[in-house]
Amino acid sequence: MKKISILITLFSLTLLILAGCSNDEYTIEFWTPLTGEDGAYMNQITEDYNETDPEFEVEHIVTSDMYTKMYTVMNSGSDIPDLAIIHADRIQSFAQQGLLEPMTGIIDAQPELKPENYLAEGWDAGIIDGTQYTIPLDIHGSAMYYNEDLLAKYGVEHFLDDDVVTFDEILSLEGQLEEGDYVVNDALISWVVLAQIQNLGGEIQDENGPAINTPEMKQAIETIKSIADTGLMTPYGEDGFLMFQSGNVLFSTDGTWSSTAHAQVENLNFGVTNTYAFESDTFHNRSSAHLFSMLENEERNDEKEEGIGEFLEYVRQNSIEWAEAGQNVASVDVIESPDYDNYMQSFFTSSEEQEDSLYIYTDLYYPYIQEALDEYLPEIIHGEMDLDQGLEAMQNFAEDRVVEGSLEIENIEIEDE
């Protein structure tokens, strides 16, 4: 009996190993960083596609540290995925390093994978020096949710008449709120700041590299800080996201995908609008995009690329499931369908003006700039760090990360040689 038990165990282990080695001739190995609920929605899309009995089935593999693993497999030259989703802010760097294969062949084989069938900001995010490296899945980013009951309680429903809440409107509530209530939280505060940079016509990168210590950045942070200084922003260290769900915050500046979490809160009557701005006629929502891409891989043959193209065309026509994850689907066919209006984030594609508000940062050094903002902004805005010192610290942080990143790339290239 012991021998039989051992054999069964070995057989089971063999099956598990074989199941984990499915990158075979007729399987498209598809990597994504979708570790949250969105991963389940992508699983459903791939399962639905596989039920159409394609020649090449798609295996969706969620990878928590995907970018690190990508560099590892590219360095080794083995186990490179056939298809991957990467964020828009990685395209410049990946393309410069020669890690991406253009989508030219796939676009030629699938004529409906073309610019007019996608949101322009999502499509253009994948163009580097005139070459299309990606096919967009979505545009996602900052949004601002409002508590309908609190707006009525304080008689400020008119703030939403033009779909843009201004700094002046927020600050007009100083001294008007009951204890424990706040006008706005500090959720995704770095994204709020980045939206203001666009509102002010500023940039975050120049010919010398990261550009954080700028007049526009100072004005943006200083104005947001005034909200905290007047006691209208949720306190430092408190979870402003949960405070909004508890009914104590008028406006929550979190992400488009958060609508699914807010909808699960009993008796939370909420809606969505744009990120607050200086003026109602100039507003932006800091955005990013999930983009389908192919890492350079000599072992990927033409037949498998055809299979990838067929999958991407299927997703273009059948990604309403992705709207369930709270994302702005990039496919025009999907967002123009009547069913899409049922999703709260359809607000951001409801007009040309709204689509134009979705600004994707594709600057080469954006990831380092984002790191710097996330590291220091909460302390600066809540008065734990001097503003000028904070601007200098963020600038230095980003510049140091550029140097570190360059050394990492050089090491990879040396090992490749």
DSSP one-letter string for 327-362: -EE-BHHHHTSGGGGGSGGGGGGSSHHHHHTEEE--
> Are residues 131 and 148 located together in one domain of the fold?
no
Query: So what's the pLDDT on residue 405?
Result: 80
CA torsion angle 311 312 318 319 (round to 10): 120
Q: Distance between CA 298 and CA 316 in Å, rounded? A: 27
The mean pLDDT value of the chain amounts to 92
Residue 402: band (very low, low, confident or very high) from pLDDT cuts 50, 70, 90: very high
Q: Is residue 72 part of a domain?
A: yes
> Are residues 181 and 80 located together in one domain of the fold?
no
Region 48-68: what's the mean pLDDT? 96
Q: Is residue 413 part of a domain?
A: no
Region 214-225: what's the mean pLDDT? 98
Q: Is residue 407 part of a domain?
A: no
Assign 145 to helix, strand or coil: strand
> Are residues 113 and 67 located together in one domain of the fold?
yes
Q: Residue 291 to residues 63, 140, 205: CA-CA distances in angstroms? A: 16, 11, 22
Is the per-residue pLDDT at 369 higher than 50? Answer: yes
Exposure b/e, 280-315, CB count within 10 A at least 16 = b: beebbbbbbbbbbbbbebeebeeebbbbbbbbbbbb
Question: Please, are residues 110 and 316 in contact by the beta-carbon 8 Å criterion?
Answer: no
> Are residues 112 and 58 located together in one domain of the fold?
yes
Query: So what's the pLDDT on residue 407?
Result: 54
Residue 127 DSSP label: E
Identity of the amino acid at 30:
F
Query: So what's the pLDDT on residue 312?
Result: 98
Q: Is residue 412 part of a domain?
A: no
Q: Distance between CA 181 and CA 231 in Å, rounded? A: 10
Q: Distance between CA 336 and CA 1 in Å, rounded? A: 63
Query: So what's the pLDDT on residue 9?
Result: 37
Structure confidence by residue, pLDDT tens digits, 165-182: 999 999 999 999 999 999
Residue 60 DSSP label: E
Q: Is residue 161 part of a domain?
A: yes
Structure confidence by residue, pLDDT tens digits, 136-145: 999 999 999 9
Region 359-371: what's the mean pLDDT? 96
Question: Please, are residues 311 and 100 in contact by the beta-carbon 8 Å criterion?
Answer: no
Structure confidence by residue, pLDDT tens digits, 184-200: 999 999 999 999 999 99
Query: So what's the pLDDT on residue 93?
Result: 94
**18 burial level (CB within 10 Å; 0-12, 13-18, 19+):** exposed
Residue 408: band (very low, low, confident or very high) from pLDDT cuts 50, 70, 90: low
> Are residues 155 and 300 located together in one domain of the fold?
no
> Are residues 311 and 219 located together in one domain of the fold?
no
> Are residues 156 and 199 located together in one domain of the fold?
yes
Neighbours of 154 (CB within 10 A): 16
Query: What total number of domains does the chain contain?
Result: 2
Q: Tokens for 91, please give them.
A: 């395209």
Q: Distance between CA 197 and CA 366 in Å, rounded? A: 13
Q: Is residue 110 part of a domain?
A: yes
Region 337-366: what's the mean pLDDT? 96
Q: How crowded is the C-beta side of 342, counted as CA atoms within 13 Å?
A: 10
Nearest CA to 119 out of 334, 341, 338 is that of: 334
Residues 6+ apart with CB under 8 A from 16: none
Is the per-residue pLDDT at 294 higher than 80? Answer: yes
CATH number of the structural domain spanning residue 308: 3.40.190.10
Domain that holds residue 371: 142-284+363-398
Residue 25: band (very low, low, confident or very high) from pLDDT cuts 50, 70, 90: confident
> Are residues 212 and 103 located together in one domain of the fold?
no
The pTM of this model reads 0.90
Query: So what's the pLDDT on residue 406?
Result: 67
> Are residues 308 and 238 located together in one domain of the fold?
no
Q: Is residue 253 part of a domain?
A: yes
Q: Distance between CA 200 and CA 142 in Å, rounded? A: 17
Query: So what's the pLDDT on residue 12?
Result: 37
Q: Is residue 16 part of a domain?
A: no
> Are residues 273 and 374 located together in one domain of the fold?
yes
Structure confidence by residue, pLDDT tens digits, 78-97: 999 999 999 999 999 999 99
Residues in the chain: 417
> Are residues 278 and 151 located together in one domain of the fold?
yes
Question: Please, are residues 220 and 385 in contact by the beta-carbon 8 Å criterion?
Answer: no
Question: Please, are residues 352 and 199 in contact by the beta-carbon 8 Å criterion?
Answer: no
> Are residues 273 and 301 located together in one domain of the fold?
no
Instruction: Give, for 287, the enclosing helix (H) or strand (E).
Output: strand 285-288
